[in-house]
């Protein structure tokens, strides 16, 4: 049978939208815009160009760039050419950058010319044959995509079981692992997003989070391309510019990680700009502090909020809390997405009763097929026929889950387990707290001493914060110490790197 008869690949998503709405604007970035027909043709040109360089189906191609139309074209061109796209956080340099390029076995790196120096500094020790500019240079992939009327069809057959991307995990507790995502997994996830998040062609979404992270690319940009929406892309997520764009361009849908929502809520323009056009607000990629969500919902009562929860290995959407469900369960992460089956189990893999704590495990066609070149880690995560997430949750009688913490972030203080998130949420209720992370540090008496690291918005003492907590929680949950810092270390998705904080503060 001809594979094209029943093809279901990432590149087909764009091809089908281009056939349905060829003249509609698919993407706007800066002064450039692409219709669906233009974008589809540009992707084919870029795919043929990559294959013309000698790359072969299954070869890995690292992408090291900021948000741009060129970055999206690079991903879709790899998908159409049967290549495996490896998104890399453009903030990584040195050993961290070399690790991802080297561990993935990427022979080609696509990069912004402004970032080329960081790539050149590490590729001499790696098996990289070529570094190609994504944009802003002669012979860039963007220039190839935009050049001429010729639209070659890449001479390669891509199956939906082929790898489309290596999505490297957050690496908050250890070295990142490359989750092997097939076209089939991503396409299933796109449908889960379209259905569960009410994505529509007239949403005029604004995309600001990094495309190297799976949430912005796979929960929002590609699914909105699938439904034929006009997508607006910003290079970097600058809070003041985001508020201006939403107000002036009348965007109706927007996604941000909780850390960015915090920054938007704290920005002086937040109460001044008219954000009334917004109808759909999405948050996820890390846990939203409860007090921050309450503040946002109170400030914008007509806005529908969606909580999106998951992780890289499941492409990454696993559960959704819809707007109509927030009133009764604002702290919930929702219920399983369309193609996701989940359970909550104890250490032996036995289901726990509703209300009790356990690890959430998944079965889904959205799941990766393992970790690149890490068989032991793959076997450990995919044991007993389920993927083990590492997330500690509880589930109510109606199937809604509540994320308590990452299992590795639960603190053992004097033999009693305390969820760091509970202490963080309590600290967020103090008006001087801008951001906070709570960790456990080794302690001879307590086993782990609960420790708070705070970014303050105004002058406040450690004793004032501790007194605030003593009024709100049991004494054993109150931190033993408070440290003030200017900012918190983060990974690509905005998650706080607690392992770095532990390393800094451990004697």
pLDDT tier, 421 (very low <50, low <70, confident <90, very high otherwise): confident
Give 130-176 as a 3 state SS string.
EEEECCCCCCCHHHHHHCCCCCCCCCCCCCCCCEEEEEECCCCCCCC
The enclosing H or E element of 342 equals strand 341-345
The two tokens of residue 234 are: 């910003």
* Per-residue DSSP letter, 473: S
Per-residue pLDDT, averaged over 481-502, amounts to: 85
Inter-residue contact 21 to 225 (CB < 8 Å): no
Q: Which pLDDT score, from 0 to 100, does residue 3 have?
A: 56
Q: Which pLDDT score, from 0 to 100, does residue 199 have?
A: 98
For the domain 411-505, what is the CATH code? 3.30.300.30
**pLDDT by residue (tens digit) across 199-239?**
999 999 999 999 999 999 999 999 999 999 999 999 999 99
Inter-residue contact 417 to 411 (CB < 8 Å): yes
Other C-beta atoms closer than 10 Å to the C-beta of 322 total 15
Count Cβ atoms within 10 A of the Cβ of residue 506 and give its class: 0-12 exposed, 13-18 middle, 19 or more buried: exposed
Domain boundaries, the chain: 3-182, 411-505
CA 492 to CA 211: how far, in whole Å? 10
Q: Which pLDDT score, from 0 to 100, does residue 409 have?
A: 85
Q: Which pLDDT score, from 0 to 100, does residue 408 have?
A: 83
Count Cβ atoms within 10 A of the Cβ of residue 434 and give its class: 0-12 exposed, 13-18 middle, 19 or more buried: middle
For the domain 3-182, what is the CATH code? 3.40.50.12780
Tally helices (H) and strands (E) across the chain. 17, 24
pLDDT tier, 497 (very low <50, low <70, confident <90, very high otherwise): confident
Per-residue pLDDT, averaged over 357-367, amounts to: 97
**pLDDT by residue (tens digit) across 52-91?**
999 999 999 999 999 999 999 999 999 999 999 999 999 8
Contacts of 148 (CB under 8 A, 6+ apart): 45
């Amino acid at each position: 049978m001809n594979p094209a008869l029943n093809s279901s690949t990432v590149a087909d998503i764009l091809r089908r939208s281009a056939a349905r709405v060829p003249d509609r604007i698919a993407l706007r970035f800066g002064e450039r815009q692409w219709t669906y027909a233009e974008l589809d043709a540009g992707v084919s040109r870029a795919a043929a160009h990559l294959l013309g360089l000698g790359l072969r189906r299954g070869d890995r191609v690292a992408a090291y760039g900021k948000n741009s139309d060129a970055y999206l074209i690079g991903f879709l061109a790899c998908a159409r050419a049967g290549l495996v796209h490896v998104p890399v956080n453009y903030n990584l340099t040195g050993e961290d950058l070399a690790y991802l390029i080297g561990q993935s076995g990427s022979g080609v790196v696509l990069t912004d010319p402004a970032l080329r120096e960081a790539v050149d500094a590490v590729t001499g020790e790696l098996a990289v044959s070529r570094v190609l500019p994504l944009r802003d240079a002669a012979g860039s992939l963007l220039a190839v995509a935009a050049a001429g009327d010729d639209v070659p069809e890449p001479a390669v057959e891509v199956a939906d079981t082929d790898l489309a991307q290596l999505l490297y995990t957050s690496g908050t507790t250890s070295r990142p692992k490359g989750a092997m995502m097939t076209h089939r997994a991503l396409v299933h996830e796109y449908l889960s997003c379209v259905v569960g998040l009410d994505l529509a062609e007239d949403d005029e979404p604004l995309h600001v989070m990094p495309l190297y992270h799976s949430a912005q690319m796979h929960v929002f940009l590609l699914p909105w391309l699938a439904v034929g929406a006009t997508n607006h892309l910003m290079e970097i997520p600058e809070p003041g510019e985001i508020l201006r764009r939403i107000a002036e361009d009348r965007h109706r849908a927007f996604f941000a990680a909780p850390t960015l929502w915090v920054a938007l809520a704290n920005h002086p323009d937040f109460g001044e700009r008219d954000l009334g056009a917004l109808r759909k607000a999405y948050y996820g990629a890390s846990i939203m502090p409860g007090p921050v969500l309450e503040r946002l919902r109170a400030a914008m009562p007509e806005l529908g909020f969606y909580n999106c929860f998951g992780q890289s290995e499941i492409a990454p959407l696993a559960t959704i809390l819809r707007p109509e469900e927030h009133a009764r369960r604002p702290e919930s992460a929702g219920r399983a997405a369309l193609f996701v089956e989940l359970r909550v189990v104890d250490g032996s893999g036995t289901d726990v009763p509703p209300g009790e704590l356990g690890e959430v495990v998944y079965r889904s066609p959205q799941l990766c097929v393992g970790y690149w070149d890490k068989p032991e880690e793959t076997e450990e995560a995919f044991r007993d026929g389920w993927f083990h997430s590492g997330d500690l949750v509880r589930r109510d009688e109606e199937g809604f889950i509540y994320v308590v913490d990452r299992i590795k972030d639960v603190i053992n203080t004097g033999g009693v387990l305390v969820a760091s998130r509970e202490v963080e949420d309590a600290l967020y209720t103090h008006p001087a707290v801008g951001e906070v992370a709570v960790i456990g540090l080794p302690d001879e008496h307590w086993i782990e001493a609960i420790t708070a690291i705070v970014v303050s918005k105004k002058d406040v003492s450690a004793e004032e914060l501790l007194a605030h907590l003593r009024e709100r929680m049991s004494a054993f949950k109150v931190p033993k110490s408070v440290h003030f810092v200017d900012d918190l270390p983060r990974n690509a998705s905005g998650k706080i790197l607690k392992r770095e904080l532990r390393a800094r503060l451990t004697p």
